[in-house]
A = this chain, B = another copy of it.
Amino acid sequence: MLELRLPQGGLLKKVLEAMRELVTDANFDCSRSGISLQAMDSTHVALVALLLSADSFDHFRCDRSRSIGMNLNCLAKILRCAANDDVLTLKADDDSDTVVFIFENPKQNKITDFEMKLMDIQSEHLGIPEAQYQAIIKMSSQEFARICKDLSSIGDTVVISVTKEGVKFSTTGDIGSANIVCRQNTTVDKPEESMIIEMNDPVSLAFALRYLNAFTKATPLSNSVKICMSSDLPVVVEYKIAEMGYIRYYLAPKIEDDDQT
């Protein structure tokens, strides 16, 4: 028996929107410690990793570890029927090939239940080793989203360069070139607007903007985003999920001779 209960159904909608542009079908790995997910995007270039820890649920019971395969578009259709403040319960019998979603409104006079068919999805779990990064940027998630969107109207690739003073985002395209420089800035009264740079070595890496733009769909989940960079490692773009866990995106840097596509 798997049974879990979230007081704010709206959160799961946001988690789903954060993945849906990259991943269509995915296995949610359920165990006593919580729910995790790992999925490559359809072009096998970016990796999404999700963690929702068991103790952050109102109620969490998972008798037997199992993977629940879902089509995220079907899941989105169902979650769209939940109001943001509905209490959400998810139930699956151990041998069942369906999962049941129950939404209860706060006034408790409306109960919605959905039974959704599960899918058999082949997936392998990659071990992602802990790493030491040359530079870690913590910045406003909205600012990061804005920068990625703005630069994509000029070019396809962004070069992110980190120095002690700040971060430079650069791109080039047919109509010209653009640089956005953000200075380190630790506003105490609005911590969500601060930009903090932890740097061991200066680092400068190029990434395809279309993936970064897909990652920024997680912006509603968190006020800030953490970007971990090293020359020889995929970048990690991490959004914390309100005391529950995180969603992380991994993307390999472009090699200098790469086509700018």
- Pick the interface stretch among A26-34, A105-113, A203-211, A212-220: A105-113
Contacts of A112 in B (CB 8 A): 150, 178-181
Closest to A118 in B: B176
Q: Residue A116 contacts which of B107, B114, B176, B183 (CB distance < 8 angstroms)?
A: B176
Q: Compute how far the CA of A212 lies from the CA of B71 in the bound complex, rounded to whole angstroms.
A: 28
- Pick the interface stretch among A47-55, A74-82, A87-95: A74-82
Q: At the interface, yes or no: A195 with Cβ under 8 Å from chain B? A: yes
Q: Compute how far the CA of A113 lies from the CA of B195 in the bound complex, rounded to whole angstroms.
A: 20
Contacts of A109 in B (CB 8 A): 182-183, 185, 195
Q: Compute how far the CA of A77 lies from the CA of B153 in the bound complex, rounded to whole angstroms.
A: 6
Chain A: number of interface residues, binned into ranges: 20 to 34
Q: At the interface, yes or no: A188 with Cβ under 8 Å from chain B? A: no
Copies of this chain per assembly: 3
B115 touches A150 (CB 8 A): no
Q: Compute how far the CA of A77 lies from the CA of B74 in the bound complex, rounded to whole angstroms.
A: 36
Q: Compute how far the CA of A177 lies from the CA of B112 in the bound complex, rounded to whole angstroms.
A: 11
B150 touches A117 (CB 8 A): no
Q: At the interface, yes or no: A98 with Cβ under 8 Å from chain B? A: yes
Q: At the interface, yes or no: A175 with Cβ under 8 Å from chain B? A: yes
B71 touches A114 (CB 8 A): no
Q: At the interface, yes or no: A252 with Cβ under 8 Å from chain B? A: no
Closest to A74 in B: B175
B175 touches A77 (CB 8 A): yes
A71 touches B175 (CB 8 A): yes
Q: Which 10 A-B pairs have the closest CB atoms?
A: A81-B150, A116-B176, A74-B175, A109-B185, A109-B183, A77-B153, A112-B180, A114-B178, A111-B181, A115-B176
- Which residues of A are in contact with B by a Cβ distance under 8 Å? 71, 74, 77-78, 80-81, 98, 107, 109-117, 143, 150-151, 153-154, 175-183, 185, 195
